[in-house]
Amino acid sequence: MRWKNYLTKICASFLGVAAFVLPGFAQSVLDEEGERYMALHPGIVITHMEDVMDGKFVDPSSQKVLTGLPPFRRIALIARPVPESDIRIEVWMPIKNWNGRFLGTGNNGGAGRMNYDALRSGLDMGFAVANTDMGTSPAARLVYDYPERWKDFGYRATHEMTVIAKKFIQEYYQETSFYSYFQGCSTGGQQALSEAQRYPEDYDGLLAGAPANNRTHLHVMFLWCHALCNEDAELMFTQEQLRKITEIAIRKNAGKDGGAPTDNFLTDPRMAVVDFEDFASFLSERQIEVLKKIMSGPVNPVTGEQIYCPYPVNSGDKPLGQAYFQSESAVYNQFYPFVWAFGKDFDYRQFDFDQDMAKMDSILAPLLNANDPDLNPLKERNGKILMYTGTCDPIVPFQDAIHYYERVVKEVGSLEETQDFFRYFIIPGMGHCGGGPGMNSVAKDMLAALMNWVERNEAPEYVIATRYKEGSKGVVEMRRPVFPYPDFPEYVGGNPAMPQNYKRVAHPRGNVVVPAERYLE
């Protein structure tokens, strides 16, 4: 018991806290392991430290039971880099068969809870893995009076998680050198790009899926899609109307953008031709005018400047598409940046897309947005990034990722130099981070490709994306190669479900709606 008392005193002194809470610690952590946890990071309070040996873990927020877990050391803590912070972090470390690597993982939406599925996935692959609630517990919209927590969400929590987790891993395994990776999608993609831009020394490789990095303007797109129709019931789109819009767009364009003629999705929606007259039989004239504005993306009504891109033409009927943007659920879950900028009583009906947009950016853009294209510091230290987005993702449109990538190319100097460390893959028919009518699984293959690039210097020339049958356990319906942008798969004949029936073809670069310069900060 000597080391436990000593550890408690050291931590209380070192952290400046009155208590060091270790529920179940005596029962779950072996005495001889205690010395490893003396070199702790300043500003943290450990709330749980236990060895989970029975393969089960209960998510404390949802009560979901995770089963079949390998034995692992679980450390849960709170980090307070500033007094107002309340960043919850968990580090899970395999007790056996550690693969010798660290994996930081991302969250989603406004965070506010731990992503235990991400922790479980990393642990199953043998990583020492960490996750954070990004400092917004219990919910993002409820931290409107805590501007330091907005910083935590924007960048600080992920960095804190990374630094703290590495110290625990070093102590636990007595290893000072190991590869470090980050994997996240949506908000997790934002976290990846924020790390690459602000803390290029944190990770050897970063996997950024559907990055919500242009945060303030992305949420203005949500508001734009909501506000255009929600004040008049006759302007609201039904799910059947949205389905017909997508069906007509696909029927008109499938097979002309590299995909197979039988596809029920588009491979490159940038090449799609849309004729609004095709929708006249089931939309009113007023709905068509609203649809034109939605499919043009939000603009400043005073200056005419583009604020953000629209969602892809083949995605409006999908989950998290226009029906979601119209819903009260979207208001509650997606309008938190407006609540932060304008207060808890924010009313979207009063939002001015000119002056209020400028005010919101002045408050939040420096904290939340990860738009800096200068990734040269990461390149210089030989870090690597893979980024991917789906062509059927309405809530984080791939067009914005294209524009960010093109800005990185300009900053670095050339596409060739950029592809030396940063490659971007556009996944045909994939929805938000997965799912969708096309390829619906790619993240694990992307992570494997990233590790191969970092550790063997073998840059991925392609990745095979897969469509698994919905509701099945691993039944493959289709596979298709995806190539680094600006290259796409092009169907050459034969069975469209087989990857060998596609060739690599370069598509035009850019060709997306470009925001005004002031909306790229």
**pLDDT-based confidence at residue 2 (cuts at 50, 70, 90):** very low
Q: Is the pLDDT of residue 239 over 70?
A: yes
**pLDDT-based confidence at residue 6 (cuts at 50, 70, 90):** very low
pLDDT at position 8 is 35
Q: What is the pTM of this model?
A: 0.93
pLDDT digits (tens, 9 = 90+) for 400-436: 999 999 999 999 999 999 999 999 999 999 999 999 9
pLDDT at position 173 is 96
285-294 and 215-227 helices, crossing angle to 10°: 180
Identify the CA nearest to 178 among candidates 126, 131, 134. Answer: 126
pLDDT digits (tens, 9 = 90+) for 100-127: 999 999 999 999 999 999 999 999 999 9
Question: Measuring CA to CA, how many Å separate 72 from each of 88, 154, 166?
Answer: 19, 30, 16
**pLDDT-based confidence at residue 61 (cuts at 50, 70, 90):** confident
DSSP code at position 303: T
Q: Is the pLDDT of residue 50 over 90?
A: yes
Question: Measuring CA to CA, how many Å separate 290 from each of 236, 284, 293, 302?
Answer: 9, 10, 5, 18
| CA–CA separation, 478 and 457 (whole Å) | 29
How many C-beta atoms lie closer than 10 Å to residue 97's C-beta?
A: 8
Q: Which tokens in the block code for residue 162?
A: 């990374």
| CA–CA separation, 320 and 304 (whole Å) | 27
pLDDT digits (tens, 9 = 90+) for 182-227: 999 999 999 999 999 999 999 999 999 999 999 999 999 999 999 9
Q: What is the mean pLDDT of residues 384-404?
A: 98
pLDDT at position 427 is 98
pLDDT at position 105 is 98
**pLDDT-based confidence at residue 278 (cuts at 50, 70, 90):** very high
- Average per-residue pLDDT in the chain? 92
**pLDDT-based confidence at residue 40 (cuts at 50, 70, 90):** low
pLDDT at position 424 is 98
**pLDDT-based confidence at residue 41 (cuts at 50, 70, 90):** low
